[in-house]
Structure 1
Amino acid sequence: MTVSAYRNITLLLLCMTAGIVDVIGYLSLGHVFTANMTGNIVLLGLAIGNSLQLTVLKSLTSLIGFIAGVVAAAALVGNKKKSFWPRAVTAALAIEGAVLFLFALFSYLFADVVSVYVLIMLLSFAMGMQTTAARKLGVAGISTTVLTGTLANFFEDLTGRFYKAGDRGHFTRDAVLRALALVLYCFGAVIAAFAEPNYKFAIIWLPIAIILGILICAITKFRAYTEEKA
Structure 2
Amino acid sequence: MTNSTYRNIILLVLCVTAGIVDVIGYLSLGHIFTANMTGNIVLLGLAIGNSLETTVFHSLTALGGFIIGVVGAAILVGNKEKTFWPKAVTIALGIEGLILLVFALLSSFSPSLHLTYLFIFLLSSAMGLQTTAARKLGVAGISTTVLTGTLANFFEDVTARFRSSRYRKTFNTDAILRALSLVLYCFGAAIAALAEPAYKFEIIWLPIVILLAIIIFVSTKFRSDSEKNNNDKDPFR
Please classify the TM superposition score into its range, dividing by the shorter chain length: over 0.9
2:53 corresponding residue in structure 1: 53
Deviates more, 1:161-170 or 1:34-43: 161-170
Q: Is the 8 A contact 1:19 1:185 kept in 2?
A: yes
Alignment of 1:76-155 (within 5 A): 76-108=76-108, 110-112=109-111, 115-155=115-155
Q: Which amino acid aligns with 2:85?
A: W
Q: How many residues align?
A: 226
- The C-alpha deviation readout for 1:69-116, integer Å capped at 9, x for no partner, is 0011011000112110000000000000000011000002x2345610
Q: Is the 8 A contact 1:84 1:225 kept in 2?
A: no
- The C-alpha deviation readout for 1:108-164, integer Å capped at 9, x for no partner, is 2x2345610000000000000000000000000000000000000000000000012
Deviates more, 1:6-15 or 1:170-179: 170-179
| RMSD between aligned residues | 1.4
2:13 corresponding residue in structure 1: 13
| Secondary structure of residue in 1 paired with 2:141 | coil
Identity of aligned residues (%): 71
1:3 corresponding residue in structure 2: 3
Using the alignment, how far apart are the partners of 2:178 and 2:226 within structure 1? Answer: 24
List gaps (5 residues or longer) in structure 1: none
Using the alignment, how far apart are the partners of 1:187 and 1:173 within structure 2? Answer: 21
2:192 corresponding residue in structure 1: 192
TM-score (norm 1): 0.95
Using the alignment, how far apart are the partners of 1:80 and 1:219 within structure 2? Answer: 17
2:37 corresponding residue in structure 1: 37
Deviates more, 1:163-172 or 1:202-211: 163-172
Using the alignment, how far apart are the partners of 1:48 and 1:225 within structure 2? Answer: 52
| Secondary structure of residue in 2 paired with 1:115 | helix
Using the alignment, how far apart are the partners of 2:179 and 2:22 within structure 1? Answer: 19
List gaps (5 residues or longer) in structure 2: 230-237
TM-score (norm 2): 0.92
Q: Which amino acid aligns with 1:6?
A: Y
Alignment of 1:168-207 (within 5 A): 168=168, 170-207=170-207
In the TM superposition, structure 1's runs of 4+ consecutive aligned residues that sit over 4 Å from their partners are none
Task: Say which one has the larger Rg.
Answer: 2
Matched, 1:68 2:68: yes
Deviates more, 1:8-17 or 1:160-169: 160-169
How far off its partner does 1:220 sit?
A: 1.2
| Secondary structure of residue in 2 paired with 1:161 | helix
